[in-house]
Amino acid sequence: MKACAPLTIRIFIKLALSLVALSFNFHLVAQAQDWPTKPVRLVIPFPPGGGSDVVGRIIAKQLSDVLQQQVVVDNRSGAGGSIGTEFVVKSNPDGYTLLLGSTSEIAVNPNLYRLNYNTVSDLTPIGVVATSPMMIISAPGFSAKTIKDIEALARQKPGELNVASAGNGTITHLSGELFKNINNLKWTHVPYKGTGPALSDLMGGQVQLMFVTAPPVLGLIKSNKVNLIAVSGKTRMPEFPDTPTVLESGGSSYSVDNWYGIFAPSKTPGEIVKKLSVALNQAVKTPELANALKAQGAEAGGMSVAEFVGYVKGEFDKWGTVIKAGNIKVD
């Protein structure tokens, strides 16, 4: 009888642990079914006022209306978006802490920095909020007026064309690198510490060309302070119907979108992920959101979870290839 005691105790412990696990799973299922019962936090990994912050506040308002729960914006900036992203990765996967992620911190940063997380495996993509093409702009007096002109000039005078960016490893840098690689061109990259200084020198003619996101340059284009040569998306921008895409202009395969999407920690229950996806796709279809994004030069997104998962993986691979091909290092 004494010999059986340890076995009985082990069986009892296993049974108790199984009951605890079963109870916990029932709790998670019930929690997922009731979600959301309190405000949801949307972490924006950049300071107030930037592109991510503007898009994040637009979608937070619409999601609040759809979910009938307040979606609160929480700006956690630093390290190019990595601090806020890591905060979400390590958060409780209960659907109450989400990330407004973009091309930079989700697809670019992991290929540039040693991070304490993996954006592909440690985050669950929910869906796209907005996409915005890169604007290919030039100095007012620049002779090249079309994509074909740029290609011809870069081949005639290799290395003499100065192309500005907001800094090494930024989307403004990598977008130009991708175009250069696809078309086998040579030019001189001129990195600045931010978009503002780069645009200032572009307007002054110190540099000739820049690949840049839409929000900071819409006013400059309309006031003829810079020239808009082409846009990088698959279709023309409604605000500039006469400006062609690169695909139309040069016959190359170049297409780039700067995108923003919602992410949750990787172990978020599937029921909550599904609810979030449905709510997001409902929110991005509202006229209010479409009009607010249009004012920023962006268009509303709309993908299923499965589509967005594949899209994020493709973006990770695309920018990783550009970074490796150019042996790009951060400052």
The tens digit of pLDDT for each residue in 211-253 reads: 998 888 999 999 999 999 999 988 899 889 999 999 998 767 8
| pLDDT tens digits, 96-143 | 999 999 998 999 999 998 899 999 899 999 999 999 999 999 999 899
207, 231, 250: which is the final residue of a domain?
Answer: 250
- For CA atoms 121, 298, 79, 74, the dihedral sign is negative
Q: Is residue 2 part of a domain?
A: no
Two tokens at 153? 């000039």
Among 305, 322, 1, which Cα is nearest to 123's?
Answer: 305
Q: 120 and 205, same structural domain?
A: no
The residue range of the domain holding 119 is 33-131+259-325
230, 250, 270: which is the final residue of a domain?
Answer: 250
Q: Is residue 85 part of a domain?
A: yes
Mean per-residue pLDDT, 271-277: 95
Mean per-residue pLDDT, 312-326: 93
Q: What is the CATH number of the domain that holds 206?
A: 3.40.190.10
- For CA atoms 137, 138, 140, 142, the dihedral sign is negative
Q: CA separation (Å) from 10 to 4, 17, 110, 228, 269?
A: 10, 11, 45, 73, 31
Q: Is residue 224 part of a domain?
A: yes
Q: Is residue 126 part of a domain?
A: yes
At 129, which amino acid appears? V
| Beta-strand runs (E) in the chain | 40-44, 71-75, 97-102, 123-138, 162-165, 188-191, 209-213, 227-231, 257-265, 299-300
Q: Is residue 330 part of a domain?
A: no
Q: Is residue 21 part of a domain?
A: no
For residues 65 and 208, what is the distance between their CA atoms, to the nearest angstrom? 45
| Beta-strand runs (E) in 206-281 | 209-213, 227-231, 257-265
Quickly list H helices, 255-298: 270-283, 287-294
pLDDT for res 220:
93
For residues 153 and 163, what is the distance between their CA atoms, to the nearest angstrom? 13
pLDDT for res 34:
86
| pLDDT tens digits, 164-197 | 998 888 899 999 999 999 999 999 999 988 888 9
Rounded mean pLDDT of the chain?
89
Number of domains into which the chain is organized: 2
Q: 232 and 155, same structural domain?
A: yes
CA 250 remoteness from chain centre: 26
